[in-house]
Chain A
Amino acid sequence: MKLLVTGAGGFLGRYVVAEALRRGHAVRAMVRGSSEGLAGLDHPALELVKADLRSRRGLTDAVSGVDAVLHLAAAKSGDLYAQYAGTVVATENLMAAMTEANVRRIVLISSFSVYDYLKAKSFSVLDENSPIEKDAFDRDEYAHTKLVQERLVREHASAAGWGFTILRPGVIYGRNNLFTARIGVNAGRFWLRIAGFARLPLTYVENCAEAIVLAAERDAALGQTLNVVDDDMPTQRKYAAMARARLSPKPLIVPMPFAIIWFLAGMGVVTNRLLFRGRAKIPGIFVPARLAARCKPLRFSNQKIKQVLGWKSRYAMGEALDRSVSDKRIEATPPTKERSPAPAEVAA
C-alpha cells in the first residue's frame, strides 16, 4: 500500500513511518516545514512532503495517489483555539483534500482522553463500549478537540462512503516519554504519584505503531473503533518504579494518597461554586473530571483490537522500557525490504 502519515515528525509518527516501511509499504511522510523529526531516516520507499494541515495550501497534491491516510497530526498544547487549529481545522482540511484527491481510506489516531471517566465506576472495565464525554468543555481542550475530531471523521467518512478506522491509544510511552500525566504530577526531580494502585492503560510506542499500520492493512478494521492498550497493564506504583530504575538521574517518587487529592478536588468544586460562582480557574489536578481521567482506578481491555486486527503487543513492558533507554535510535533505522531483520535485531 502507499500510505500517507500525517504528523510524521512527531514522537509516534516516526515509529509509524518506520513500522510501515518495515512492513513493506511505500510511505509519504507529511511534516511541517520546520520539522526535523525524520532527520536521519533514509529509505527508498520513503517520500517526504512538507505541509501544514492548518492551511489548505498544497494539501491536495500531498494527498494524491495514496491508498490510505494514517492521520496522527494533532495539537497537544496551546489554548483552545490553537488546539482547534492543529487538531480540528487540520482534520477538516485533510478531509477536504482527500475528497478532492479521491482518497477514501483514513485511520484516525484519537485518544483515550475521549472517555467519560467521571461516569465510569471505579475498578470497572473501560473498553470501546464505555461512554465518551459529551463535549468535555469543562475538562480540557485536548479532550474536547479530540472528541470533535472523532465526530468529524465519523460523520464525513460515513457520508462519503469512505473506509475509516478510529484508534484510541492509551498512554503511549517510549524514548524521552516515560513520564505520563496518569502517574500524577511531574515536578522536575520529583514525580508526585497519585493512586499508586491504579492501573495504567499503557502502550509502548512500537507496539502502538504496529497497530496503526495493521489498521490500514486489515479490511476487518473498517468502520471500527479500537482501543490500543498493551497486555501489560501495570499499576502506577509498578510502572513508576520500573521506569525510574532505567532513568538517570532518577526522579524521586513521592506518593500522594488518591483519597486526599480526590477530597481536595471535591472541596475545590464546592468552594468555587460557593465563593466564585464556578468561575475560578483551579489547577488541573484538583478538577474532578481531570483527576478522574488521570488517576481513577479502572481496568482496561484490549480484546477487541486483538480480535479485529490480530494484533498483540510485541514488546512486554520490561523490554519496551529497555528499548526506550537504549542508545540505538530505533525509529531512525528502519531496515530496507531487501534485508528485513526480525524486530528484535533492530534493537540489538
Chain B
Amino acid sequence: MTMTAQTDVSPVAREQAASAGAARAVRLKAAVVGTGKISEEHLKYLRADANVELAAVCDLSSALAQYAVARFGASQAFTDCAKMLADVKPDVLHILTPPHTHFKMVSDALNAGAHVIVEKPVAPTNREFNELWKLAQSKKRLIVEDHNYRFNEPVLKIEQLLREGQLGEVREITVRMALPIRKTGGRYADENLPHPSHRMPAGVLHEFITHLCYLALRFLPSVDRVSAAWANVGGGTLFKYDDLDALVIGGPVHARIRFTAAAAPDTFSLTVRGSRGWAQTDLFQPYLRLVLPRKGGAQLSPLVNHIANGIGLASAGLRGFTNKVLQKTPYEGLQTFLHHTYRAFRERSQPPVTYDDMDRASRLVDMLVDEANRI
C-alpha cells in the first residue's frame, strides 16, 4: 500500500482558501467538551484570545465543569453535550473527551453546525475518520485534529532548516517516545479503573502513536513499506501493548517510530538526518542539536559543531530550568496550533492541520496496527 503526500484535496479547504481575502475580525463562539487535564491548555488559549468567546464547557462531572467556569471564565457549564450544542450553538467545539467517544461527539458537533477541534485520534480507524470528513464536507464545516507537537519551536526550526537546504535532502527520521505508562499510580496503570484508551485498537499506545506518526510524516514523502513489532513487555492483561518498534520507508527516506515504557527518562525525541547534516531535539526537554558543514571545512566542522552544540545544550539546560519554574509545558505548540486554527476559521482559509495531514496520519496508524494483527 502506498500513500502519497498531496498539498490539499479538500473541496471545503479550496473553497475557504478562495475566500481568504474576505477575512474579517469575526468573534467566534467556542465550547469545550471534556474538562480533564488537556482542557487546561485549550482553555488557557480560549481565555486569552480576544476574538474568541468561551461560551460554554461541558463535562459529565458538574463540579469539574464548574471549575472550568470559575478558573477560565466560561459563560456556562453543562453536563450534557447535546444540550450544550442545542442551547449555545457554538461556532467551534473542542472535543477533549477520551478517544473512544470522539466519533459520536464529532458527528453531533458537525450536525449542530460547529467546526471541530479534536484531540487525537479523531477516530479509531481511517475509514471512520473519512466518514466524519465526508459529513464535515456535507455540512461545510471543518474537522481539525490536534497535531500540537508539530508546532513546537524546535520542530518548526528543523522544518525551516530543511526549507533553507541546510540539512540537504531528508534521508532518515527517528521519532522516539519513552513514557512510564506502567508507573504505579499513573493514569494508564490504574487497575481499579482502567483508562478508556485500553479499549482502542492498539490499547493505550493508540493515544501516542498519532503524535509519532504525524511527526514522521512531516518528513516522509510517501509511505511505501511498513513493518512494526508490537509487544507487551511488562506483561499482564491490562495493557495490550506497551512497546512499539516500527520501520516506515517512503521513497529514499527511512523512518523509525519507537515507543517504550521501559526506558528512562521521559523522552520525545526527533532526529532528522539529511544528505548534508542532521538535527535532533527532545520536545520534553527542549534543545536543538545541529551537525552541519561549518566554516573551516571538513577538518574543523566536527570541532565547531561540538563547541556550538555544547553552548547550545548549556543554554537549553538553563532555559529548561526556567521553563520548569515558570510552569511552561511541552504543550507550547498547542497555543500556536490553536492560534493558526482560529485564524483559519475566521479568515475561512486552510487550517494548519489539513485533511491530508490527518488522513495520512490515520492511514499510517492503521498500517501499523495491521502489522500488530499480523503477528
Contact = CB atoms under 8 A, between A and B. Distances in A.
B325 A84 contact: no
A52 B193 contact: yes
23 contacts: A32-B192, A33-B191, A54-B193, A55-B193, A81-B36, A84-B61, A84-B63, A84-B64, A88-B63, A88-B64, A89-B63, A89-B64, A92-B62, A92-B63, A137-B71, A148-B67, A152-B63, A279-B326, A279-B327, A280-B325, A280-B326, A280-B327, A281-B326
A47 interface: no
Given A34-B192, A55-B193, A281 B61 contact: no
Contact of A78 (B61, B185, B324): B185
Given A88-B61, A279-B327, 18 more contacts: A33-B191, A33-B192, A34-B191, A54-B193, A55-B193, A78-B185, A81-B36, A81-B37, A84-B64, A88-B63, A88-B64, A135-B70, A137-B71, A148-B63, A152-B63, A276-B325, A279-B326, A281-B327
B187 interface: yes
Contacts of B185: 77-78
A279 B44 CA distance: 13
Nearest to B63: A88
B372 to A, nearest CB: 28
Nearest to A280: B325
Nearest to A276: B326
Interface of A: 32-34, 52, 54-55, 77-79, 81-82, 84, 88-89, 92, 135, 137, 148, 152, 276, 279-281
A277 to B, nearest CB: 9
Contacts of B192: 32-34, 52, 54
B187 A82 contact: yes
Interface in B32-68: 36-37, 61-64, 67
A-B pairs, top 10 by smallest CB distance, nearest first, are A32-B192, A81-B37, A52-B192, A88-B63, A89-B61, A52-B193, A280-B325, A33-B192, A34-B191, A281-B327
Nearest to A149: B63
Contacts of A88: 61, 63-64
Given A33-B191, A54-B193, A84 B67 contact: yes
Q: Give chain A's interface secondary structure class.
A: loop
A327 to B, nearest CB: 29
Interface of B: 36-37, 61-64, 67, 70-71, 185, 187, 191-193, 324-327
Contacts of B193: 52, 54-55
A88 B324 CA distance: 28
A40 to B, nearest CB: 21
B203 to A, nearest CB: 19
A230 B81 CA distance: 48
A98 to B, nearest CB: 16
A137 B69 CA distance: 13
A276 B191 CA distance: 40
A92 B61 contact: yes
A151 to B, nearest CB: 9
A83 to B, nearest CB: 11
A315 to B, nearest CB: 32
A55 B60 CA distance: 11
A80 to B, nearest CB: 8
Contacts of A281: 324-327
A152 B36 CA distance: 19
B362 to A, nearest CB: 27
Contacts of B327: 279-281
Contacts of B70: 135
Nearest to B59: A89
A281 B329 CA distance: 12
A77 B327 CA distance: 19
Contacts of B191: 33-34
A52 B325 CA distance: 35
Contacts of A32: 192
Contacts of B325: 276, 280-281
Contacts of A79: 37
A280 B325 CA distance: 5
A89 B79 CA distance: 13
Nearest to B79: A92
Nearest to B60: A89
Nearest to A82: B187
Interface centre among B67, B71, B187 (most CB of A within 10 A): B67
B272 to A, nearest CB: 32
Nearest to A33: B192
